[in-house]
Amino acid sequence: MKFFIDTANLEQIKEAQDLGILDGVTTNPSLMAKEGIKGTEAINAHYKTICEIVDGDISAEVLSTTYEEMIKEGEELAKIHPNIVVKIPMIKDGVKALKYFSDRGIKTNCTLIFSAGQALLAAKAGANYVSPFLGRLDDISVDGLNLINEIRTIYDNYGYDTEILAASIRHSMHIIDCAKLGADVITSPLGPILSLLNHPLTDKGLAQFIEDSKKMA
């Protein structure tokens, strides 16, 4: 399973990259705004910096919602770096844009996926990734993991190449459950990724080994 980090914060991206387990980065307009990135020039420069830190797929989201504007914007984003993946919202014009980019070999990530039907449409339109938002479904008492499971079944039934990029991850159990269900990728904030490191028996065991190692000196 691939690990992407879901942030536009350069320090956190570097920390995950230094860990040696990072395969890519996802961003969205909210995450970019949180870092104070404003204006096309600054936005594009920020994506370029991320591409220079991480050698993997970097999702850059379009800000427009009409077919013509998404095409224009996506083509500009794709020019920033070969690793840019154009992130397109799951709307009617978005599906048309996915097909346009797919026909031209530009990688896409279809975002804001909340149902199996949306994931099926995105795969048919040739999206490279679909991003089901499991935490946001959990927030409204709908089982987000069930959606991952449904999409996995549908894609396996028909051999779709579209990768399931489980998004809106809230804690380390989400990551483990996605791995069990066969999600291709998880995109997570840094916290849940680092939480995977923790176990009290590891800490206890290491403290004992350190103590006993003094007897060997």
Residues tagged active-site: 87
In this structure, what are the phi and psi dihedrals at residue 20, rounded to the nearest 5 degrees?
85, 15
The distance from CA 83 to its chain's CA centroid, rounded to whole angstroms, is 14
**Coil vs helix vs strand at 189:** coil
Interacting stretch for ligand E4P, rule CB under 6 A, among 35-43, 100-108, 127-135, 155-163? 127-135
Nearer to ligand E4P among residue 100 and residue 133 (C-beta): 133
For 182-198, give the DSSP string. T-SEEEE-HHHHHHTT-
Q: Residue from 3, 114, 129, 133 that binds ligand E4P (CB under 6 A)?
A: 133
Radius of gyration of the chain (CA): 19
The minimum distance between CB 214 and ligand E4P, in angstroms, equals 45
Binding to ligand E4P (CB under 6 A) within 49-78 occurs at none
* Helices and strands per DSSP (H, E), number in the chain: 11, 8
The minimum distance between CB 111 and ligand E4P, in angstroms, equals 6
Number of residues that bind ligand E4P (CB under 6 A): 11
Binding to ligand E4P (CB under 6 A) within 171-200 occurs at 187
Q: Residue from 111, 118, 128, 162 that binds ligand E4P (CB under 6 A)?
A: 111
Tokens of 54: 């991480």
Cα separation, 2 vs 85, in Å, equals 15
Q: Which residues bind ligand E4P (CB under 6 A)?
A: 6, 26, 28, 111, 131, 133, 135-136, 167-168, 187
